[in-house]
Amino acid sequence: MAKTMAVNAGSSSLKFQLLEMPAEQVIAQGVIERIGMDDAIVTIKYGAEIVAERLVGHSDDDEDHITITKDGKGKKYENVVPIKNHQQAINFMLQKLTDLGIIEDFQEITGVGHRVVAGGEWFNHSVVVTDEVLAKIDRLADYAPLHNPANAMGIRAFQKLLPDALSVAVFDTSFHQTMPDVNYLYSLPYEYYTRYGARKYGAHGTSHRYVSARAAAMLGKDLKDLKLITLHLGAGASITAIKDGKSFDTSMGFSPLAGVTMATRAGDVDPSLVYYIQEREGLTNDEMLNVLNKKSGLLGISTISSDMRDLLDVQDTNEHAKLAINIFINRVIKYVGQYVAEMNGVDAIVFTAGIGENSVPVRKMIVDKLSYFGVKLDDEKNNVRGEEVEISTSDSKVKALLIPTNEELMIARDVESLKA
């Protein structure tokens, strides 16, 4: 059977999942962190039931070692090695796949799907990578400066090492290209849209696309007949209204910085306040963007951590942690309420991503505040992590669903669909 690799390249990281297709069986998954440093962290999980546990932690020694995972069936390879760049990271990863017996030859990998954050208005679906496509991804770097350059770097590195494999770009923004203009346009001079593409593009589209389809299956209905609000709540967070099977509105904007409060991103802020602070702090444009992207959100408000788990642990004794949690919940509730009004109702609320899949108290706080439009939480059903399950009561007018996202599977499926 052919094998397809789903890739998410960051500025200093490389995440991947190798799947047997079309069986959709995960063979291996891994991450290389701290690329560009002498102590890059490599983790590869493979064998049976490897998706049962997320990749966490790394080896503290310099020697290769393989440990059996807690399910007793899968295996884990961990190492700390010097890796200078993405090209070297990919070469190391592919070599390890052969060394560990996961593949016998690179030629077994017939397709590589790459997550690309910004596709602008050029891409409303996944496409085979050509020189022209790659040039457009480069040109869209200003739309997602933290992501697109790294995504393009990953594409080029894989093309060099696997020249015969089909290379496919899967865009976070493509799912949101169905939004009506009343939802994607800003109230700016229209010429800025026609000249510069100044509009809302959204993000996390691959995740919203996956969980909305799973929600329809769980509810036993056609997706086109449902009104859904999908909550992708992780370090990056976005809320999407899905109507008639399409993205109708979404919280992230021109870039992934806008919308709800996130781990380190500010979300929605009055632009005049940004200018006010920038002048008084004497910050350059890049420095101000760094504050908004990396020093704000949960971290900025709490002053102690960007991790929701840390904040929940100390919320009873730390006022800033409690405030950060409350602001996060408040911003989610505002967007959900807005989208219920925009769509004139909702059939189900869907939780996904790191916080959405794993935080029992955060889901409860959100659903309890949404009871006014008919959603009721079943506390016993909600007491789970990372399972696909309905968490609302049987008499709830609006369903609440927990659906672990699987962007890698969607990427692999898109690659398969383009192989014909």
What are the binding residues for ATP? 15, 232-236, 307-309, 354-358
Q: Rounded to whole angstroms, how far apart are CA atoms 164 and 110?
A: 7
Which pair of structure tokens corresponds to residue 365? Answer: 């706080």
Residues 6+ apart with CB under 8 A from 233: 332, 351, 352, 353, 354, 355, 356, 359, 362
Q: How many CA atoms lie within 13 A of 165 on its CB side?
A: 29
Q: Rounded to whole angstroms, how far apart are CA atoms 378 and 229?
A: 19
Q: How many CB atoms are closer than 10 A to CB 194?
A: 9
In 3D space, the residue among 2, 7, 5 whose CA is nearest the CA of residue 21 turns out to be: 2
Instruction: Compute the chain's Rg from CA coordinates.
Output: 21
Preceding amide of 22 cis, omega within 30: yes
Q: How many CB atoms are closer than 10 A to CB 385?
A: 10
The yes-or-no answer on residue 172 being catalytic is: yes
Following DSSP, what letter does each residue of 292-323 receive, concatenated?
HHHSSHHHHHHSS-S-HHHHHHHTTT-HHHHH
Exactly one of 164, 172, 181, 313 is catalytic; name it.
Answer: 172
Binding site listing for Mg(2+): 8, 407
- Residue keyed to tokens 């949101």: 176
Binding site listing: 8, 15, 115, 232-236, 307-309, 354-358, 407
Catalytic residue numbers?
A: 172
